[in-house]
C-alpha cells in the first residue's frame, strides 16, 4: 500500500481555541473523514493485487489468505512479484523480500502503541486483543492518517477508521481481482506484467522526496538489473538491499532537494 | 517448499514484525541510523522490484512493451493520477503494443 504520509491528509490547524470541546469533536470528525477517504481509495487497488497474485501462479484462496493475514501491500506485491519471476524455487528470496519490506511496520507500531494501545490507568499494558488488533492493521495508511491529526483522540480515531476500512475493502477487492485474474487467462497479452511494475512504482513514488532516497532507488535498480543474468531469480532484489544499508549507514547523499 | 509453505512463512514473518512493534520496548529501531536504514530498505527493495519486473525475463534482461508502459506510468504518477488508474493504463499500454506488433 502506498504511503500518504506527506500529501493526502489536510490537517486542520486554524489555531483558534475558543471552545476546546467543540474543537475535539471537530478534530475527530476530520479524522473519521480522512480515514474513510484514504481507506476507500486504498482499498480499491486490492483489485490489482488480486489479479496480479493469480497471474503469478497463486490460486484465489492463496491471494485472499495473503490479504487477510499478511495485510501489508508492499510485502504482498513483492511476494507475488518474486514468485512470478522465479516460481517456487525463488521461495526463499520471496519470503526474505516480503519480510524486509515489513520491517517498517515495526517502527510504525512503536509510534502508534502509545496512541492506540496505551497502558490503562492502573499502569497495566493494554489487552492482548487490543494490541493484536492494532498491530494487524498497522500499515502505511493507518499510521499516516493518525500522525496527520491534530490531537491524540483524533489520531486514535483516524488510525482505527483507516485501518478497518482498508482491511474490509482490501480483502473484498482482492477476492474480486483474483476472480477477474482467474478468468483472464493469458496475463501477458493483457499487460499484467507491466501492471505489476507500475504498481511497484506507485508504492515507491511518494518515498522519493529526498535526494538520498532517489539515489538509493537508482542504485538499487542498477544493481538488480546488472545481477539478474548471474544470480538466481529473486536474489537480485535482495542483493540490491545492500545499497540501502550502505547509504543509510554512512548517511550519504543528504542534501535535500530544493523546494 | 510449496506455494502454501511460502505464503504461510512469509505471512507469519510479516505479522510477527507488526506485533513486535507493540510488544518490544521502543529503542533500537527508533535510533537514527537503524531507522534511516529501515526507511531506505523499503526504497531499495521497491526500486529493485521495479527494475526486475520491467526488464527481467527469467535470467535475461530484455527491453519490450513493459518499458514504455512504465515510462507512461511514471508520467502519470508525476501528474498525481490515482494508483488504480495508472496501473490499468500501464497494462493497457503494454497490451496495446503487443497486440499491434
Q: Do residues A192 and A218 both lie within one domain?
A: no
Q: How many domains does chain A divide into? A: 2
Q: Do residues A186 and A238 both lie within one domain?
A: no
A162-178 confidence digits (pLDDT tens): 999 999 999 999 999 99
Does some domain include residue A126? yes
Does some domain include residue A231? yes
Residue A256 banded pLDDT, cuts 50, 70, 90 = low
Q: Which residue of B has its CA nearest to A91?
A: B6
H/E element, B85 = helix B83-99
Q: Is B99 on the interface with A (CB under 8 A)?
A: yes
Q: Do residues A150 and A214 both lie within one domain?
A: no
pLDDT above 90 for A122: no
Q: Do residues A137 and A240 both lie within one domain?
A: no
Q: Is A54 on the interface with B (CB under 8 A)?
A: no
DSSP line for A4-27: -TTTSPPP------S-HHHHHHHH
Does some domain include residue A14? no
Q: Do residues A187 and A162 both lie within one domain?
A: yes
pLDDT above 70 for A16: no
Beta carbons of B74 and B93 less than 8 angstroms apart = no
pLDDT above 90 for A71: yes
Q: Do residues A147 and A257 both lie within one domain?
A: no
Q: Is B4 on the interface with A (CB under 8 A)?
A: yes
Q: Is A70 on the interface with B (CB under 8 A)?
A: yes
Q: Do residues A116 and A36 both lie within one domain?
A: yes
Q: Do residues A156 and A42 both lie within one domain?
A: yes
Does some domain include residue A191? yes
- B51 and A221: CB-CB below 8 Å? yes
List the one residue out of A220, A86, A194 whose CA is nearest residue B54: A194
| Main-chain phi, psi angles of B61, to 5 degrees | -105, 120
Judged by DSSP in three states, B94 sits in: helix
Q: Is A233 on the interface with B (CB under 8 A)?
A: yes
Does some domain include residue A225? yes
Q: Do residues A174 and A103 both lie within one domain?
A: yes
Does some domain include residue A81? yes
List the one residue out of A166, A160, A146, A115 whose CA is nearest residue A11: A146
Of B13, B26, B91, the CB nearest to A192: B91
Which of A147, A178, A197 finishes a domain? A197
Q: Do residues A26 and A82 both lie within one domain?
A: yes
Which set of grid coordinates corresponds to residue A162?
483507516
Q: Do residues A117 and A83 both lie within one domain?
A: yes
On chain B, the residues whose CB falls within 8 A of the CB of A224 are 47-49, 51-52
pLDDT at B61: 94
CA distance B30 to chain A (A): 7
Beta-sheet strands, E only, within A90-187? none
Q: Is B7 on the interface with A (CB under 8 A)?
A: yes
Which of A170, A197, A224 finishes a domain? A197
pLDDT at A21: 67
pLDDT at A102: 93
Identify the residue among B25, B28, B53 best suited for mutation to test binding to A, counting A beta carbons within 10 A and taking the highest.
B53
* Residues sharing a CB contact under 8 Å with residue A135, sequence separation 6 or more, in sequence order: A109, B15, B18, B19, B21, B22
Domain limits at A212? Answer: 208-259
Does some domain include residue A221? yes
Q: Do residues A28 and A155 both lie within one domain?
A: yes
Which of A197, A216, A237 finishes a domain? A197
Does some domain include residue A7? no
What's the rounded mean pLDDT across residues B37-56?
93
Amino acid at each position: 500500500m502506498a504511503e500518504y504520509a506527506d500529501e493526502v491528509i489536510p490537517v486542520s490547524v486554524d489555531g483558534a481555541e475558543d471552545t476546546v470541546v467543540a474543537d475535539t469533536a471537530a478534530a475527530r470528525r476530520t479524522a473519521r473523514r480522512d480515514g474513510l477517504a484514504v481507506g476507500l481509495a486504498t482499498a480499491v487497488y486490492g483489485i490489482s493485487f488480486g489479479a496480479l497474485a493469480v497471474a503469478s501462479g497463486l490460486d484465489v484462496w492463496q491471494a485472499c489468505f495473503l490479504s487477510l493475514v499478511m495485510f501489508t501491500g508492499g510485502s504482498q506485491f513483492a511476494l507475488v512479484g518474486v514468485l512470478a519471476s522465479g516460481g517456487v524455487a525463488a521461495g526463499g528470496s520471496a519470503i526474505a523480500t516480503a519480510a524486509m519490506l515489513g520491517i517498517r511496520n515495526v517502527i510504525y507500531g512503536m509510534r502508534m502503541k502509545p496512541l492506540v494501545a496505551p497502558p490503562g490507568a492502573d499502569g497495566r499494558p493494554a489487552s492482548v486483543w487490543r494490541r493484536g488488533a492494532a498491530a494487524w492493521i498497522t500499515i502505511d495508511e493507518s499510521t499516516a492518517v493518525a500522525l496527520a491529526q491534530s490531537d491524540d483522540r483524533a489520531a486514535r480515531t483516524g488510525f482505527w477508521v483507516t485501518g478497518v476500512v482498508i482491511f474490509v475493502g482490501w480483502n473484498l477487492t482482492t477476492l474480486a481481482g483474483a476472480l477477474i485474474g482467474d478468468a483472464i487467462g493469458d496475463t501477458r497479452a493483457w499487460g499484467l506484467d507491466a501492471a505489476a511494475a507500475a504498481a511497484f512504482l506507485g508504492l515507491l513514488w511518494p518515498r522519493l522526496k529526498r535526494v538520498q532516497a532517489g539515489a538509493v532507488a537508482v542504485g538499487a535498480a542498477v544493481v538488480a538489473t546488472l545481477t539478474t543474468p548471474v544470480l538466481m531469480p529473486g536474489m537480485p532484489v535482495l542483493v540490491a538491499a545492500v545499497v540501502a544499508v550502505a547509504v543509510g549507514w554512512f548517511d550519504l547523499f543528504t542534501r535535500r532537494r530544493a523546494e | 517448499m510449496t506455494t502454501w509453505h511460502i505464503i504461510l512463512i512469509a505471512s507469519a514473518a510479516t505479522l510477527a514484525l507488526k506485533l513486535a512493534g507493540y510488544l518490544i520496548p521502543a529503542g533500537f529501531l527508533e535510533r537514527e541510523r537503524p531507522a534511516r536504514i529501515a526507511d531506505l530498505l523499503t526504497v531499495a527493495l521497491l526500486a529493485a522490484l521495479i527494475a526486475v519486473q520491467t526488464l527481467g525475463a527469467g535470467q535475461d534482461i530484455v527491453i519490450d512493451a513493459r518499458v514504455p508502459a512504465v515510462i507512461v506510468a511514471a508520467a502519470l504518477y508525476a501528474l498525481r493520477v490515482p494508483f488504480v488508474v495508472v496501473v490499468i493504463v500501464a497494462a493497457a499500454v503494454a497490451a496495446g503494443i503487443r497486440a499491434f506488433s
